[in-house]
Structure 1
């Protein structure tokens, strides 16, 4: 039933997206109008300042468009790629970036098919194309034996990349990875996010934060504004339909050390997710973060940061 419900929900998003795309004159995969995109980018720039460490931004040409990458940390530090959650963009790492960037060279990448500064110039990407896209970025920076941290959808992408033969990934951290070990755990509770996409409003946005976070009051108002505009202005897309849980054999193929963290109030994952991780990942370590929801990197930032640093270093 959760699988069927999930498919119906995302198909509804797809139908809505197609209808809005036909009416739009602004040719952009993610945003509906130029002014809405400009408003979002302005909010992005303000939220990025929350990092409060030196950083640079680069735009990398790829086969499928321009990838926006934020770089921070010591040049001689071990390379660490950050993959954000759905509609969150790389600015979401503001509660975690200081400890992560202390000894790592950070490469935070905006996903092309979501709100952010990356720009998709082709059709919606297939799984194979997503893998090609990220490997082009890794090759551009000559990343070898690098670590990777992925949150929610970013965790699913990190897992996808780890299943590719001859990948260059070393250690992996998955923060409540979506659709990775199982389908959404509490589908009914996640309808607030669907309703926010279809009929955006401040009230629905607040309800969504309360569903996905145990401490929404910890979320910076500056970041909240950006996250809200991402949901309000961005077109819905069908990419979630491609996010199936990985098979037993696919998980078994991952030989990297993997740390999986989920919140005890997570609506996306449950104990069953950790059970599959422990059963099929050869070198897994799992932990439940108390008093945390799906947004565990904000709900319990210090605990999550400490767990990641101990594992990575």
Structure 2
């Protein structure tokens, strides 16, 4: 499916690249970042009622797959630090979110949390396996939990890394960072915002993933509803094993309060607060995430 390019998509509130030059810049950054990943065994474009979803499969042929949902303004290549480790013993799917920068193509406006769950549920229906483990980072974590709230069929377990707008309310700091994806601003300012949310890490565009995210912020226009903050009853109603990992240096929520709410409400939850981690937890601690995730999945596979 051809990408959405140009202002004609604005009226329908569909995610789109600002113009042809913007798409060319983004595609160059995307291909560069993809080149740093292990070679996918399969590349799919899965149709849903809200558009076509770009999906890459990695790892062995057999086993229950792990589905990776990326963070805000990111895409499948953001998992560069994690893919090799997570795909050692199981198949892994990495996707580009509908309505966000990437190679998924939105064709219908998303207006609610139910719509967000519907396209993701349709994606799961379009994959060959009857059930998957779902891992999401940041807004991908919210998307995973939102799916479990509204359409849990097909989910075997949830893994939420630094999930935004999920267990803790969004902070004013996140509002400032989000302006980088909707307002024109100098590259140096955008780079400082990216470094801030990443716990002070170097956000130089010399790094392929940082360059991809920066291009997404600059060259793509999103038009998505604000994430619906889940109620206590919705979280308590989740009946899937759930692993939550929260960074103690995160700026997207109050880490202690978010961890406490998750522990209080999740009936089948394992909640870890990593004091030294920021919101960029997947790139800071890839080996620890690999071990923790694999141990969690092995426990529930055997149980």
TM-score (normalizing by structure 2):
0.88
Structure 1 residue aligned with 2:176? 191
Instruction: Indicate if the aligned counterparts of 2:242 and 2:270 stay in contact, CA closer than 8 A.
Output: yes
Say if 1:143 and 1:119 are closer, same or farther in 2 by CA, change over 3 A.
same
1:74 CA displacement: 0.8
Residues 223-262 of structure 1 correspond to what in structure 2 (within 5 A)? 223-239=209-225, 241=226, 243-262=227-246
User: Matched residue of 2:98: which SS?
Assistant: coil
Does 2:50 match 1:69?
no
Residues 38-117 of structure 1 correspond to what in structure 2 (within 5 A)? 38-117=24-103
Pairing partner for 1:271 from 240, 256, 275 = 256
User: Matched residue of 1:171: which SS?
Assistant: strand
Residues 1-313 of structure 1 correspond to what in structure 2 (within 5 A)? 21=7, 29-164=15-150, 167-184=153-170, 186-188=171-173, 190-195=175-180, 197-214=182-199, 216-217=201-202, 221-239=207-225, 241=226, 243-269=227-253, 270-313=255-298
Instruction: Indicate if the aligned counterparts of 2:174 and 2:252 stay in contact, CA closer than 8 A.
Output: no
1:31 CA displacement: 1.1
* Segment drifting more, 141-150 vs 65-74: 141-150
Deviations 1:88-141 (A, max 9, x none): 111111100011111121111211111000001122343222222122211111
Query: C-alpha distance in 1, partners of 2:133/2:278?
Result: 24
How many residues end up aligned between the 2 structures? Answer: 290
Say if 1:196 and 1:54 are closer, same or farther in 2 by CA, change over 3 A.
closer
Query: C-alpha distance in 2, partners of 1:24/1:309?
Result: 42
Say if 1:32 and 1:165 are closer, same or farther in 2 by CA, change over 3 A.
closer
Instruction: Indicate if the aligned counterparts of 1:196 and 1:208 stay in contact, CA closer than 8 A.
Output: no
Query: C-alpha distance in 2, partners of 1:247/1:156?
Result: 13
Structure 2 residue aligned with 1:13? none
Instruction: Indicate if the aligned counterparts of 1:147 and 1:172 stay in contact, CA closer than 8 A.
Output: yes
Which residues of structure 2 form unaligned runs of 5+? Answer: 1-5, 299-303
Instruction: Indicate if the aligned counterparts of 1:213 and 1:292 stay in contact, CA closer than 8 A.
Output: no
Query: C-alpha distance in 2, partners of 1:29/1:53?
Result: 27
Say if 1:23 and 1:244 are closer, same or farther in 2 by CA, change over 3 A.
closer
Query: C-alpha distance in 1, partners of 2:266/2:9?
Result: 46
Deviations 1:276-299 (A, max 9, x none): 111111011111223221111012
Which residues of structure 1 form unaligned runs of 5+? Answer: 1-19
Instruction: Indicate if the aligned counterparts of 1:53 and 1:98 stay in contact, CA closer than 8 A.
Output: no
1:197 CA displacement: 3.3
> Which has a greater percent of helix?
1
User: Matched residue of 1:102: which SS?
Assistant: coil
